[in-house]
Amino acid sequence: MAKQNVTMIERHLEKIIIGAAGAVVLVIFVLYVVGSPNAVEVDGRKLGPDQFYTEMRTRAEQARATMQQGQLDINPSAGIKVPDINQQRSPYDYLGLPKEFTVAFVPPAPDIPSIADEDRPDSIQLAKILPPRPLVATVGRAFARLPDSILVRPGSTGGDVQPPPPITQEYHWVALFSAVHRKEQRDEFERVRYAPDRQKLLVAVVEAERQVLLPTGAWSEPEMVTGYSPRKIPVRATVPLHRQDDGTYAILDADRQYIQDYLTLLDSPAGQEEILRPQFQEFLENRWFAWEVPKQLPGLSVQLADYGAMLPTEDEGPTPRRTVEPTAAPRTATPSRRTTGRDFGGGRGRFPGPDGAPPVAPRASVTPSPGDAPAARAGRAEITRLFREADEAITKQEFIQARDLLEQVIQNPDASSKQVEDAQSRLLRIQQDVDRAERELFLAEERRRLAGEQDVGEDVDPFWLTDLRIIPGKTYRYRVRLLVFNQYVGLANRLENADDAGKVTLAGEWSEWSDPVQVQPVRYLFITKAANANTATLEIREWVRGEWKMGFGDRQVGELAAFSTGGDEFVYGAIVAGVNDQYTYQERSVGRDGAISYRERQTAAAILLTADGDVAEHVVARDAVLKRDLLSQIKKEQALREQLDEGPAGQIRPGVQPRLPSRDFAPRGRFPRGGPSGPGEI
């Protein structure tokens, strides 16, 4: 039964709720549909966001137009006093004082009275420039983004290294490594009685000549080689001499200024660094290890890693990959170049240490195995020794040596976290002493320079040169020489031969020829079998876009060695001229005692006629050995590349780039003399 007694609230509750909901909807409609809650008041007007920004844009345009049309309203008759601008100028400009003073090109050398007669002759002969030695050549290939070389001309402001191109390009090269023997050259200068202030050897350029091995087994005529460098200083061989009224010879002021500017470019650590050790390895993409660097030059104690070269290692682990930033700035040499190394922008190397502490290299994460206990004990003993020697160095106030020892502790993989923290704490405590010691060392060098002692450079100074204009598969040998600045240019009255005063640079003697090196071919051909006296099965291995690809097929006499495999075309520039399926081959073997023996072996062979007109013989047994060596080298190269891509950083000696043994990725030494069958082919 329905309820009969209903209260007033129950009777009208639904109406109240519906009315309140309608009011809320009406308010929302008015605020957010008709108007906007986000409004500001400008000059008594309420503006929404669109209206406000339109108003601001309009007023900004009006203000800019007003400023553009504005002008200073000055009445000339008002007598406004303007400050004297001349009083605010430089005293040199205001008083007309000269800013440049004419000075002698050569430091004055007044006669000093002495009791004994001067035994130095009035005139001298120019010294001979000794050849570099030893000379080591290596080969390699990689993708790189090499900046275009820029010319830094004397008297110009120079220029930064051009940014690398956006697209990588594959390069093949021969790298030459040798050394300048500055001490021996100073002895030669002293022998011919050069003045002490003119015994500094300034290298202007490193020249190289090469010969290519001809199919006949003879060497071609030498041709000049220009190595790659992102910055080059053009060389001027001579300047004209002009005879004066008194019979002496002199050079023009313009030439004298050129010589002074040229000397300024050469006579600096940065200038010699760019000439002797130009950047190249830094621009290689991912495969910086392909620029094969000898661990040590034969007969010398210098380590090329001390001069910025990077090498992969087998016993110390892979070094971190280096990358090059889009823009590369020229390197700036520091007074202590041998202890600073090179900065490979973007790569992992030395990281900032604690506040105030010197940067340190990353520590590789090492997981010891049960068999590593002796090595771990040796590592702990090494850390104890380093701490002890560091304490002794601090006691002797040899703070720079102490810093180097403590940094070795930080980089030691066997050091515990506590030992690393202890070493970093000690570095912080002696940091001010290290800074003071380095400052005193610098001031001592300055005092020696001001006292007249000449900075003649290191006794042995290594250099390198990279030849990019080579043909893959060819065999080359090289020799190098130095062009150096003539310290007696323009001083005809000091030389026996006045014409020598017009020589800006002097050409040195050529070095001995390097050992022959073969640039790794981009294409190999192997014979695998012969079905009969008319058909041979050939295999081609070709380097294509950074990887090795293989193709194979049967070819008959008279056919071109070319076929298609898996959609790839393989073309070898040769025609099968003959096939011998019953070929007697003298196989050479070396016993454990070093004895060489030969045995006959029945195999197959093919004769190929190349496009150059050369005749090449391929024997199945011999090609099998060559193919095995090639595959082994490819496997090693791939394994090293994957190892370096995985990432853990190897050990880096404090202050220098990694110093590691080199590898050889090109199977050299097993190919017959006479060169390849064609450009880039074996």
Q: What per-residue confidence (pLDDT) applies to 53? A: 86
Cβ contact 231:150 at 8 Å: yes
The CA distance from 635 to 656, in Å, is: 30
Q: What per-residue confidence (pLDDT) applies to 475? A: 94
Is the confidence at residue 662, as pLDDT, over 90?
A: no
Query: Tens digits of per-residue pLDDT, 429-438?
Result: 999 899 888 8
Query: Tens digits of per-residue pLDDT, 144-176?
Result: 889 888 888 887 765 666 677 777 888 999 999
Mean pLDDT of the chain: 77
Query: Tens digits of per-residue pLDDT, 305-332?
Result: 888 888 765 544 444 433 333 333 444 4
Query: Tens digits of per-residue pLDDT, 499-528?
Result: 999 999 999 999 999 999 999 888 899 988
Give, for 303, the enclosing helix (H) or strand (E).
none
Q: What per-residue confidence (pLDDT) applies to 644? A: 60
Q: What per-residue confidence (pLDDT) applies to 36? A: 66
**pTM of the predicted model as reported, rounded to 2 decimal places:** 0.56
Q: What per-residue confidence (pLDDT) applies to 108? A: 58
Question: Which is more confidently placed, 345 or 27?
Answer: 27
CA 384 to chain centre: 37
Lowest mean pLDDT among 150-154, 159-163, 339-343, 553-557: 339-343
Give the range with max mean pLDDT: 93-107, 179-193, 407-421: 179-193
| pLDDT confidence tier of residue 277, bands split at 50, 70 and 90 | very high
Q: What per-residue confidence (pLDDT) applies to 82? A: 64
Is the confidence at residue 651, as pLDDT, over 60?
A: no
Q: What DSSP state is assigned to residue 519?
A: P
Burial of residue 323 (number of CB atoms within 10 Å: 0-12, 13-18, 19+): middle
Burial of residue 179 (number of CB atoms within 10 Å: 0-12, 13-18, 19+): buried
Q: What per-residue confidence (pLDDT) applies to 312? A: 65
Lowest mean pLDDT among 274-283, 286-295, 379-388: 286-295
Question: Which is more confidently placed, 123 or 339?
Answer: 123
Burial of residue 107 (number of CB atoms within 10 Å: 0-12, 13-18, 19+): exposed
**Cα separations in angstroms, 580 against 296, 586, 626:** 47, 15, 20
Q: What per-residue confidence (pLDDT) applies to 483? A: 96
Query: Tens digits of per-residue pLDDT, 567-608?
Result: 788 888 888 989 988 888 888 888 888 888 888 888 899 999
Q: What per-residue confidence (pLDDT) applies to 229? A: 93
Length of the chain: 682
| pLDDT confidence tier of residue 203, bands split at 50, 70 and 90 | very high
Give, for 561, the enclosing helix (H) or strand (E).
strand 560-565
Q: What per-residue confidence (pLDDT) applies to 677? A: 38
> What phi and psi, each to the nearest 5 degrees, are found at residue 629?
-65, -40
Contacts of 249 (CB under 8 A, 6+ apart): 241, 242, 243, 492, 498, 501, 502
Question: Which is more confidently placed, 210 or 547?
Answer: 210
Contacts of 318 (CB under 8 A, 6+ apart): 312, 640, 643, 644, 646, 648, 649, 650
Question: Which is more confidently placed, 607 or 95?
Answer: 607
The CA distance from 518 to 475, in Å, is: 4
Cβ contact 677:573 at 8 Å: yes
Query: Tens digits of per-residue pLDDT, 384-403?
Result: 889 999 999 999 888 998 99
Question: Which is more confidently placed, 466 or 347?
Answer: 466
Alpha helices (H) in 70-163, listed in sequence order? 91-95
Question: Which is more confidently placed, 446 or 40?
Answer: 40
The SS3 assignment for 283 reads helix
Letter for the amino acid at 223? E
